[in-house]
Amino acid sequence: MRGIAYGGDYNPEQWPEETRREDLRLMREAGVNLVNVGIFGWVLMEPAPGAYEFGWLDEIVDRLHASGVQVGLGTPTAAPPAWFSRLHPSSLPVTREGHRIGVGGRESACPSSPEYREATAGLAAALAEHYAGHPALALWHVHNEYGAPLGECYCDNSVEAFRRWLRRTYQDLPALNDAWGTTFWGQRYTAWEEIDAPRANHTVVNPAQRLDFMRFTSEEHLDCFRLQRDILRRLTPSVPVTTNFMTTNCKSMDYWAWAREVDVVSNDHYLTAERPDNHIDLAMSADLARSLAGGPWMLMEHSTGAVSWQPRNIAKRPGEMRRNSLAHVARGSDSVLYFQWRASRFGAEKFHSAMVPQAGADSGVWRDVVGLGADLARLGGVRGGRVRAEVAIAWDWQSWWALELEWRPSVDLAYRERVDAYYQALWRSHVTVDFVHPAADLSGYRLVVAPSLYLLTEAGAKNLRRYVEAGGHLFVSYFSGIVDEHDAVHAGPYPGALRDVLGLSVEEFHPLRENETVPLTPGRDLAGRVWSERVRPAGARVLWRFAAGPDAGHPAFTRHDLGAGAAWYLATGVADPRPALAEALDAAGVERPRDLPETLEVVRRAGHLFLINHADEPVTVPGVTGSGVLDGAEYAGAATVPAGGVTVVRER
């Protein structure tokens, strides 16, 4: 691609010839240069088993190429045809409660079904053989949103595949019994055939088994992707292959493992319409996508306005679509793509917004789409550019899985709640962050924040300790470092895996009652919620204490100097962690603006300063020198960003 890719999912099979001709004209008007086609077209590509028909698609792809629009070609395996489900009823997924789903939705095939895998491999090969060498083909878009809505499947095929996965993982039953702690409740297994999927039960099922089934599920979906990817790479080696992630919202897929398998990381993001600060969640999703990619990535789907599945599908305000799109670009995306190009007249998503809305080209949405196309044409200079961050947040899908199983000390323990709280605090402090796996190389960061690492392996714990000893700064929130990869409590007092690096131990957890808070000292207008615990320092210095509650007088916030670095620990859940984080940010030498409103988004990418104003009043930003990319203005010491506006400056 030259410059930023602009466009979205295109479903011309839903429209007559007259509309398709209009689509090409409108794409030229908006500056569209990339569309994804065929995402849900399996039944049209293969109307009967083994009978492939691509003539209808050839005409569309050829016309797009003639109009200067490149194509991301979908392998439409997320929507098996009704004939496939009729011929292979065992491919239909089974829920944890034992219900087999019906046809008529999407993601309606078990990833462990041999018939499904054979059919998807055949379709991928037929597509690649047919379109190899076509000049419009820029990208392979495999499947659609693996893991949503289908995550785990409990059918017989899945159970057999799970047993094979366990054999590869543990080699023998004694190792599995040891890892799963099957002496508890007399669960020891004497034959592989005795092991079932962790189906719904009248009580809690072994958490180690649940955790392994989640790992197996992510791997099964990934195997389905690899199967198609390898075929596409063999037949079209010069065309990159991707599948669309949902970084912050797909709990069931471990994207650290997935990111290694795609040629380019692509991500879907949709605002939670009723959340007033949903632009912060957008930034978080973009930062996580960039972190998975290790650099630039692709925004594969977002919306021009309202979506179709939330309780109240609220349209975007004037200027919001532009802010959303340019925020993704600021945070590393080399594309701005939407679901979808033209709003559907029928089907489940007919009230979902689109680049061409039901109102057509005589609409505010369309005028915004055209204006954004012009903006993106001016921003081609950031393509391929990187975003640098001095702070990282530790993120681990497997810790998320383990934390939210049953029978934890409090129902209020939630992975996203803590991660969101710390990300929001850093965003409002104008600190750009990466996300990291706890066992990854951390040497490039001044500060690493661990909001929720309930599950932490020995390797991850050693990595964090080495980071601190070498001069890094680590900030840890409560209930972290508690269990290993099998959900077994680390030996010794809590928090076992982090006890030494934090310089303390925890004698007992004291979860708080619903809506209960406890004040903190010294003299801060802060209160802990959700959690309190009896902290015993063992080298750590006490910075704050609990002023009341079950741990009154005991440490609430500590600092432990270790080697050339330091580790902080906050033993409760404050609504706004900024006062505590400021201690660590200052000690780590993290520079950030101190005099800007928290509604202003500030990001630097490839020599470009992005200033995105989410407030209803203009903001003047001092210290800005350079050329305005979008407005052509020259800035010599300050820039005023209009209310709800975006200013991008090529800095000097």
What is the rounded CA–CA span in Å between residue 252 and residue 15?
A: 35
Q: Which two tokens stand for residue 304?
A: 């021009």
Check 145, 219, 485, 533 and give the catalytic one: 145
Tokens representing residue 36 in the block: 């994804």
Sequence-distant (≥ 6) Cβ neighbours of residue 59 within 8 angstroms: none
Q: Which among 219, 301, 320, 533 is annotated as catalytic?
A: 301
Q: Tokens 């609504």 — which residue?
A: 575
Q: Which tokens in the block code for residue 246?
A: 């949902």
Q: Rounded to a whole number, what is the distance in angstroms from the first to the last CA of the chain?
A: 27
Calpha distance 158→212 (Å, rounded): 13
Is residue 474 within 8 Å of 501, Cβ to Cβ? yes
| Cis omega (within 30 of 0) for bond into 340 | yes
Beta-carbon-side half-sphere exposure of residue 347 (alpha carbons within 13 Å): 12
- How far is residue 402's CA from residue 487's CA, in Å, rounded to a whole number? 7
Give the integer Cα–Cα distance in Å for 510 and 173.
Answer: 37
Q: 265 with 257: CB under 8 angstroms?
A: no
| 311-346: b (≥16 Cβ within 10 Å) or e | eebeebeebbbbbbbbbbbbbbbbbbbbbbbbbbee
Nearest to 292 by CA among 331, 259, 338, 253: 259
3-state secondary structure 115-150: HHHHHHHHHHHHHHHHHCCCCCEEEEEECCCCCCCC
CA–CA dist 650, 127 (Å, integer): 43
11-17, long-range: CB < 8 A, 24+ apart: 11/37, 11/39, 11/40, 11/340, 11/341, 11/342, 11/344, 12/37, 12/60, 13/41, 13/44, 13/56, 14/342, 14/344, 14/345, 14/346, 15/342
For the question of residue 145 being annotated catalytic, the response is: yes
Residue with tokens 């962790």: 198
193 is catalytic: no
The residues that bridge with 36 in the sheet, in sequence order, are 9, 72
Nearest C-alpha neighbor of 485 from the set 451, 442, 422, 439: 439
What residues are annotated to the active site? Answer: 145, 301
